[in-house]
A and B are shown apart, each in its own frame.
Chain A
Amino acid sequence: DVKVTQSSRYLVKRTGEKVFLECVQDMDHENMFWYRQDPGLGLRLIYFSYDVKMKEKGDIPEGYSVSREKKERFSLILESASTNQTSMYLCASRADINSPLHFGNGTRLTVT
C-alpha cells in the first residue's frame, strides 16, 4: 500500500511566521502535489512536482513556495503566513500519468 505521510496533523502559527509543511511518500513516485481544501471551494492545487527539483505552479501558488530535494519528500513553505492561509493542506503522490492520487492525512493549519 502507498503511504503518504504529512509531518503534522495540526499546526497553529502566528501571522508573519515562516511555516514548513512536510510530506514524505514511500513508493518512489515521481509526481507529488500540494492542495489546500476549503469549505465550498473543494481542493485547489497549489504546486505540483514531477521530479526532484522540478515544479509547476498550480491554480493558487501566491504566498507559497515548494522544495523537492529528494524524490520522496515534498515540502510546502509559507514564507510569511497570513490568516487567509488558514486551511487544510493535503499532500498527494502518484506513480504515473494514468494513476490515481494517493493522499496524506492532511495538515490543518491555523494562522492567528
Chain B
Amino acid sequence: EDKVVQSPLSLVVHEGDTVTLNCSYEVTNFRSLLWYKQEKKAPTFLFMLTSSGIEKKSGRLSSILDKKELFSILNITATQTGDSAVYLCAVRPNTGNQFYFGTGTSLTVIP
C-alpha cells in the first residue's frame, strides 16, 4: 500500500532556530515529491522534487530528495513566527492521478 509518513508530528522552536522536517514514502513507481505550507487556509506550494541530490532553495527554505532511501527533508533556517504552519508532503506516482499526502508536521515558532 502506498503511503507517506512525516515526522515529527509537531515541533515547537524559538525564533532563529533551524528546523528539519522529514518525509518518507513507499510509493510504487515514484514520479515526484511536493512540499506545501498550510496556514489556516489553502496549502501553498513550496517545492517539487524529482531528482535525488539536487537541492531546491527559496530564501530560508530548502529541500532535498533521496530516491534511494525514499525520503525528503525540508529545512528552514533562522525561523520566524510567520513560519508557523502545518507542512505537508505529497508524493505523485507515475501512473494515475493520485497524490499521496502525509498527515503533516505542525511547526510553531515562538518569539
Contact = CB atoms under 8 A, between A and B. Distances in A.
B99 A56 contact: no
B48 A100 contact: yes
Contact of A31 (B90, B97, B103): B97
Nearest to A35: B101
B34 A105 contact: no
Interface residues on chain A, size class: 20 to 34
Contact of B101 (A31, A42, A56, A106): A42
Interface string A62-91: 000000000000000000000000000010
Nearest to B3: A42
B14 to A, nearest CB: 26
A98 B88 CA distance: 19
The A interface is mostly helix, strand or loop, or mixed, namely strand
Interface in B79-98: 88, 90, 97-98
Contacts of B41: 105-106
Contacts of B104: 42
A42 B100 CA distance: 9
Interface of B: 4, 32, 34, 36, 41-45, 48, 88, 90, 97-99, 101-104
